[in-house]
Amino acid sequence: MKLFKLLSIFIIAISVNSCSVYNFTGAKPIDAKTFQVNFFQNTAELIEPGIERRFTLKLQEVIQNQTNLSLTNSNGELLYEGEIVEYRITPMQATAAQTAAQSRLSISVNVRFSNKNKETDNFEKRFWFYRDYEGSSLPTGSVLNDYIDEIFERITQDIFNESLAKW
């Protein structure tokens, strides 16, 4: 009976311990309590006003929603910084009348990530994503905002995965 009890306790201990390797968001546990996202400047040749602020806020939001880290304005143990380096609209397919049948909005962001507690995690990498749309119309207003939000959602999730989830 004692052997069964000890074996049960051992199995439970291993099960509980193995569950701590990942949390439900996919982030591995890290020995940091704070993160900092510096303002991402827009250095792209084609400027869309306000996207630098939207991107910075979106990255902060993704990290706050998927971790228990606290956002700080200075001396964060994890530091995200960089710039929006490309905002481009490109025709993808042509019609017989030599007009664009489909166009692509693409955005690229250069990110520098620093982990003060584990410098081997540091990286500098370019992240990008795109949204294709009907070439005969140029997205404006809320449609353009929706496209940008969709692109930023993907880019910020990729940054999160690269820096914290390690997928």
Q: What DSSP string runs through 28-86?
A: PP-S--EEEE---EE--SS--TTHHHHHHHHHHHHHHHHS-PEE-SSS-SEEEEEEEEE
Q: What is the pLDDT of residue 93?
A: 72
pLDDT digits (tens, 9 = 90+) for 19-68: 444 444 455 567 899 999 999 999 999 999 999 999 999 999 999 999 99
Is pLDDT of 17 > 90? Answer: no
Query: Would you say 37 and 60 are in contact if contact means Cβ atoms under 8 Å apart?
Result: yes
CA-to-CA distance for 87 and 105, rounded, in angstroms? 7
Contacts of 20 (CB under 8 A, 6+ apart): 29
The residue type found at 49 is P
Give the dihedral sign, CA 132/135/136/140. positive
The residue type found at 96 is A
CATH topology of domain 30-165: Double Stranded RNA Binding Domain (3.30.160)
pLDDT digits (tens, 9 = 90+) for 116-167: 999 999 999 999 999 999 877 778 899 999 999 999 999 999 999 999 987 5
pLDDT digits (tens, 9 = 90+) for 77-95: 999 999 999 999 988 876 6
Name the percent of the chain in helix, strand, coil, to the closest 5.
Answer: 35, 30, 30
Structure-block tokens of residue 58: 């979106």
Residue ranges per structural domain of the chain: 30-165
Q: Which residue has the higher pLDDT, 30 or 110?
A: 110
Contacts of 66 (CB under 8 A, 6+ apart): 25, 26, 27, 160, 164
